[in-house]
C-alpha cells in the first residue's frame, strides 16, 4: 500500500485503471459515470494515455475494443442507458473476446436521480456471458478494477465493473498501489477471432460457452464473494451484493448475528449460495437494482422447503434505490423518527433551467410560434432542455433516449401529425441525432428540427461537444438539409419576435427545416 487518497467511487476506478497501465480511456458523459473519465482526462499527460470524449457510447466501446485489439489495456465507461447504445459492440465483444485487458465500467442509477430508467447492468453482463464485479466501497472499486484487468487478460474477455450512483458519487479515502507500466503493442494475429463471419463466430461462441465453467469456478473461489456461516444455528440467512451490503452491515452494527453471503463477483457463486441455503430456513436477498440474485435463487418454482425474501415478495421495495432506513426496516431494526417537520406540506424543489439559460428563450419563442396551431407536436430529447417539460414552460412532450426526438418526430409526421417540431441539444445531435436527420433529409419529412446549440454538454457538467457552431451547420447541410431551410437564431429576449417569426416560417414550409438556436451555456459564460 502506497498512500491514501480521497476519491469518489468513479475516481477510485479511474485511478486504479491508470495504475493498472491503461493506454486509453473512452466514454460519453452520463450521470453518474462522468467523473470516471474526467479524472483520467485530467491525468492523461502525467500517465501518457489517450483520453478524448467520444461521440457516443457505441463509438467509445468500439474505440476501446480497437485499443485492446492492439494489445493495450483500456477502460470504457458509461451510464447504464449508455450501455444500450453500446450494446451491439458489447454483446459481440463477448464473442470476439479481447486481447489487451478491457474493462467496461457501467454506472447504474437506481432511483433515477438523473436517468430515464433504472435498468440493472448485471443482466447485461450475464447476457454477454462475461464476469461482472460489483464493489461495495471506494476501496473495493479501486481493488476490483485491478482484479478486472487481470481477469480480462487471463480469460481474454471484457470484464464489467458495475457501480451505482451512491458509490460513484460518494467520496472516501482509498489506499492505492504502485502503478504498473503499459502493455507493449501486441496485435491479435490474423485469423478469425475478430472477423465474426458466421463460420468464425460459431467457433468463438463455442469458446465463450466453454469458458463459463472456468468463470464459475473463479467466482466460487473469489475473495469478492465472502460467505460467513458462523457457528450458531440461525433461521435467517442474508445474501447481499454491492452497496446494499453496507446498508445491511450498518443495520446490524457491523456484526451480523446471522450467516450471510456478500456477492461481489458474478457469475453468482452457486456453491456458496447452496452452502448458505443449506444452513438456514429463510433467505433474505438485499441487492441494489433488479432482483437478479433473488430470481436466480427462487427461479420459477422457488427453493424447496425454504422461504426466499427480497424484492419479489415485497419485503423490499421493487422500485427506487435502497437506503439504510429501508434495509434497517426489513432487518426489524428501524429507528423512531425524532424530529418532525414543522412545515407541512413541504413544497418540492425540482431542478430547473438556470436563470439566463438560452433554452428558456428558445422555448418561449417556440411556445409562441406554435400557439396558434390546433395540435402541435414537440418531441424532445436528453439534456438540460428536458427541463422545459416543467411549468411554466411546458414546452416539450417526449424524452425517450438520445436522439429519439428527431426520429420520433419523423414517425409522427409520417403518421400525419402537423406541425411537428423537435428540440435537442448540439451534443445529443452529435451523439445520435445525425442518423435520424439523414433519413429525414432523404425524404424531406415535413417537420422542423430545432438544435439548441449551447456549445457544450451542459447537464453533465459542461464537457466538450463534438459539433457546434459553423461545424454544426456544415454537418446539417452535409446530411442533405436544404441550406435555404437551415436557419440560425440567437435565443435572447430582445430577438424574441424575430425568432417567433422564423420558427413560424419554417413550420409553414411543408418540408424539412432545421433551426439552430445558438447561444453559449450560461454555466460556461459565468467562468
Partner 1 sequence: MKYDIVLAGVGGQGILTIAYLLDNLAVRKGLRIKQSEVHGMAQRGGAVYSHMRISDDVIISDLIPDGAADMILSVEPLEVQRYLHLLGPRGVVVSSNQPFINITDYPPEEQVLEALLRLSNALLINAKKIAAASKSPRSQNVAMVGAATPFLPFEAADFVPIIEELFASKGEAVVNSNIQVLENASSIGSFYKELLDGGVANDLAYTLVERIQVGSFAPELADDYAKALAAKPTECKKAISSLDEDVPQERALLDMLKSA
> In angstroms, rounded to a whole number, what is the distance separating the alpha carbons of residues 41 and 25?
8
C-alpha cell belonging to residue 351: 431542478
Tell me: does residue 95 bind partner 1 (CB under 8 A): no
Answer for which of 20, 211, 238, 251 binds partner 1 (CB under 8 A) is 251
SS3 229: coil
Cβ of residue 526: shortest distance to partner 1, in angstroms? Answer: 10
**C-beta of 437 vs 458, nearer to partner 1:** 458
Cβ of residue 355: shortest distance to partner 1, in angstroms? Answer: 8
Site string for partner 1, 128-167 (x = CB under 8 A): --------------------------------------xx
Listed in sequence order, the DSSP H helices in 111-164 are 122-128, 138-155
Tell me: does residue 255 bind partner 1 (CB under 8 A): no
Residue 432 is given by DSSP the state I
**C-beta of 255 vs 374, nearer to partner 1:** 255
Listed in sequence order, the DSSP H helices in 20-133 are 34-42, 44-47, 57-69, 80-85, 87-96, 122-128
- Name the segment binding partner 1 (CB under 8 A); options: 178-186, 196-204, 241-249, 507-515: 241-249
Cβ of residue 205: shortest distance to partner 1, in angstroms? Answer: 38
Return the bridge partners of 378, or none.
Answer: 421
Answer for which of 129, 229, 296, 328 binds partner 1 (CB under 8 A) is 328
Strand 282-286: give its sheet, edge to edge: 226-228, 260-263, 236-241, 282-286, 307-309
Measured in Å, how far apart are the chain's first and last C-alpha atoms?
39
> In angstroms, rounded to a whole number, what is the distance separating the alpha carbons of residues 108 and 167?
10
**C-beta of 319 vs 339, nearer to partner 1:** 339
Cβ of residue 6: shortest distance to partner 1, in angstroms? Answer: 5
Q: How many residues does the chain have?
A: 527
> In angstroms, rounded to a whole number, what is the distance separating the alpha carbons of residues 54 and 45?
18
Stretch 454-493 residues interacting with partner 1 (CB under 8 A): 459-461
* Burial bucket for residue 207 (CB in 10 Å: 0-12, 13-18, 19+): middle
Taking residue 275's Cβ as centre, other Cβ atoms within 10 Å add up to 15
Cβ of residue 35: shortest distance to partner 1, in angstroms? Answer: 7
Cβ of residue 468: shortest distance to partner 1, in angstroms? Answer: 20
SS3 429: helix
Site string for partner 1, 7-46 (x = CB under 8 A): ------------------------xx-xx-----------
Return left, alpha or beta for 482; rule: phi > 0 is left, psi -120 to 50 is alpha, else beta.
beta
Tell me: does residue 3 bind partner 1 (CB under 8 A): no
Answer for which of 65, 215, 249, 452 binds partner 1 (CB under 8 A) is 249
Is the distance from CB of 60 to CB of 27 less than 8 angstroms?
yes
**Which residues neighbour 386 within 8 Å (Cβ) at sequence distance 6 or greater?**
380, 396, 399
**C-beta of 31 vs 182, nearer to partner 1:** 31
Answer for which of 42, 113, 233, 510 binds partner 1 (CB under 8 A) is 113
Site string for partner 1, 353-392 (x = CB under 8 A): xx-----------------------------x--x-----
| Count of residues engaged in binding partner 1, rule: CB under 8 A | 50
Residues contributing to the site for partner 1 (CB under 8 A): 4, 6, 31-32, 34-35, 113-114, 166-167, 169-173, 243, 246-247, 249-251, 254, 323-325, 328, 334-343, 346-354, 384, 387, 459-461
Amino acid at each position: 500500500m502506497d498512500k491514501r487518497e480521497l476519491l469518489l467511487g468513479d475516481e477510485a476506478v479511474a485511478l486504479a485503471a491508470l495504475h493498472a497501465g491503461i493506454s486509453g480511456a473512452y466514454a460519453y458523459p452520463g450521470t453518474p459515470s462522468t467523473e470516471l473519465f474526467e479524472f483520467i482526462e485530467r491525468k492523461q499527460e502525467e500517465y501518457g494515455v489517450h483520453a478524448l470524449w467520444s461521440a457516443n457510447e457505441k463509438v467509445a466501446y468500439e474505440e476501446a475494443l480497437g485499443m485492446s485489439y492492439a494489445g493495450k489495456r483500456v477502460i470504457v465507461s458509461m451510464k447504464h442507458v449508455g450501455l444500450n447504445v453500446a450494446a451491439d459492440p458489447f454483446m459481440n465483444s463477448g464473442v470476439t473476446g479481447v486481447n489487451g485487458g478491457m474493462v467496461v465500467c457501467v454506472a447504474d442509477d437506481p432511483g433515477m436521480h438523473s436517468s430515464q430508467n433504472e435498468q440493472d447492468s448485471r443482466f447485461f453482463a450475464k447476457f454477454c456471458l462475461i464476469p461482472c464485479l460489483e464493489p461495495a466501497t471506494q476501496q473495493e472499486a479501486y481493488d476490483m478494477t485491478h482484479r478486472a484487468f487481470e481477469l480480462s487478460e487471463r480469460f481474454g474477455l471484457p470484464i464489467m465493473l458495475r457501480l451505482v450512483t451512491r458509490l460513484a458519487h460518494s467520496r472516501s479515502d482509498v489506499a492505492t498501489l504502485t502503478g504498473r507500466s503499459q502493455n507493449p503493442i501486441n496485435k491479435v494475429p490474423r485469423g478469425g477471432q475478430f472477423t465474426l463471419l458466421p463460420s468464425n463466430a460459431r467457433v468463438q461462441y463455442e469458446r465463450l460457452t466453454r469458458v463459463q465453467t472456468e468463470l464459475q469456478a473463479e467466482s466460487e473461489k473469489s475473495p469478492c464473494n465472502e460467505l460467513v456461516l458462523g457457528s450458531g444455528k440461525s433461521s435467517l440467512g442474508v445474501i447481499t451484493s454491492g452497496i446494499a451490503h453496507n446498508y445491511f452491515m450498518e443495520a446490524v452494527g457491523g456484526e451480523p448475528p446471522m450467516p450471510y453471503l456478500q456477492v461481489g463477483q458474478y457469475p453468482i457463486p452457486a456453491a456458496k449460495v447452496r452452502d448458505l441455503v443449506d444452513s438456514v430456513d429463510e433467505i433474505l436477498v438485499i441487492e441494489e437494482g433488479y432482483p437478479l440474485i433473488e430470481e436466480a435463487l427462487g427461479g420459477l418454482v422457488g427453493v424447496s422447503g425454504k422461504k426466499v425474501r427480497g424484492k419479489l415478495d415485497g419485503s423490499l421495495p421493487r422500485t427506487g434505490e435502497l437506503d439504510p432506513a429501508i434495509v434497517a426496516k426489513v432487518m426489524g431494526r428501524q429507528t423512531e423518527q425524532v424530529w418532525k417537520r414543522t412545515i407541512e406540506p413541504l413544497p418540492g424543489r425540482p431542478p430547473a433551467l438556470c436563470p439566463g439559460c438560452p433554452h428558456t428563450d428558445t422555448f418561449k419563442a417556440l411556445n409562441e410560434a406554435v400557439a396558434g396551431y390546433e395540435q402541435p407536436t414537440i418531441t424532445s430529447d436528453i439534456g438540460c432542455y428536458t427541463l422545459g417539460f416543467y411549468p411554466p414552460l411546458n414546452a416539450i412532450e417526449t424524452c425517450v433516449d438520445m436522439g429519439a426526438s428527431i426520429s420520433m418526430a419523423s414517425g409522427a409526421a409520417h403518421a400525419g401529425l402537423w406541425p411537428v417540431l423537435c428540440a435537442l441539444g448540439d451534443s445529443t445531435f452529435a451523439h445520435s441525432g445525425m442518423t435520424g436527420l439523414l433519413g429525414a433529409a432523404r425524404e424531406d419529412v415535413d417537420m422542423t428540427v430545432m438544435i439548441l446549440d449551447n456549445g457544450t454538454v451542459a447537464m453533465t457538467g459542461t464537457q466538450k461537444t463534438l459539433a457546434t457552431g459553423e461545424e454544426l451547420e456544415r454537418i446539417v447541410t452535409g446530411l442533405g438539409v436544404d441550406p435555404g431551410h437551415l436557419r440560425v437564431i440567437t435565443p435572447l429576449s430582445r430577438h424574441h419576435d424575430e425568432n417567433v417569426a422564423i420558427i413560424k416560417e419554417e413550420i409553414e414550409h411543408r418540408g424539412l427545416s432545421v433551426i439552430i438556436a445558438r447561444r453559449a451555456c450560461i454555466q460556461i459564460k459565468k467562468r
